[in-house]
Amino acid sequence: MPNVFWAAFAGAAAAGLITLIAVLTAEWFRWFLDRPLVKVEMTLGFRITPDGSGYNRRQVFLAASNPHTKPVTLSAFGLSFKRYKWGTLHVNPQIGYEFPYQLDGGKSLRQWSLMEDLLKTLKKDGRTPRDLKWAWFRASSGKLYRGKIKKWVIEELEKEFQKMNKRR
């Protein structure tokens, strides 16, 4: 009789432990899918105004999107260099969103600046577009969300940088 008791007790304990692990795993997975997350991308282009007219000077766009449901408050954005010791470059937006900015789930925002201003800043600091590696947005919590700058963006910036140097 005592062996039956211990066998039943061990079976119940194992079932309870398996249930606890399943519940914790499900909760962790739910949190993982619902956590704040920001995807960052840098592109180039021209800004179009709401009336359909264009702006003839080329722009650098930094975009942040939140594909999850939890909001995240963004406090700053900029670019980082390949070498950590060179620090970061804060992009000065022409017009855009006031920071800190709460980016709700499923929403995105774009900050833009003149390409010419970015290239002048790089030249003043003795850098080139090839030295850039990351576009980033920082959350008010301190977490850094970053996206690698695409090769074609660096190449286009480099072309404009060379043209700018030839003009002067």
**Burial of 82 by CB count in 10 Å (0-12 exposed, 13-18 middle, 19+ buried)?**
exposed
Cα 120 to the chain's mean position, in Å?
Answer: 24
Q: What is the pLDDT along the chain (168 residues), one digit of tens a residue?
A: 677 777 777 888 888 888 888 888 877 777 666 666 789 999 888 777 666 666 677 888 889 999 888 888 888 888 888 876 667 776 766 666 778 888 888 898 888 888 888 888 888 888 889 989 899 888 888 888 889 999 999 999 899 888 887 776
Stated pTM of the model: 0.69
Taking the C-alpha atoms of residue 7 and residue 1, their distance in angstroms, rounded to an integer, is: 10
Under CATH, what is the fold of the domain 36-167?
Immunoglobulin-like (2.60.40)
Calculate ∠ Cα 151-118-111, nearest 5°: 80
Helix (H) or strand (E) holding 101: strand 101-103
Q: Please state the domain extents for the chain.
A: 1-34, 36-167
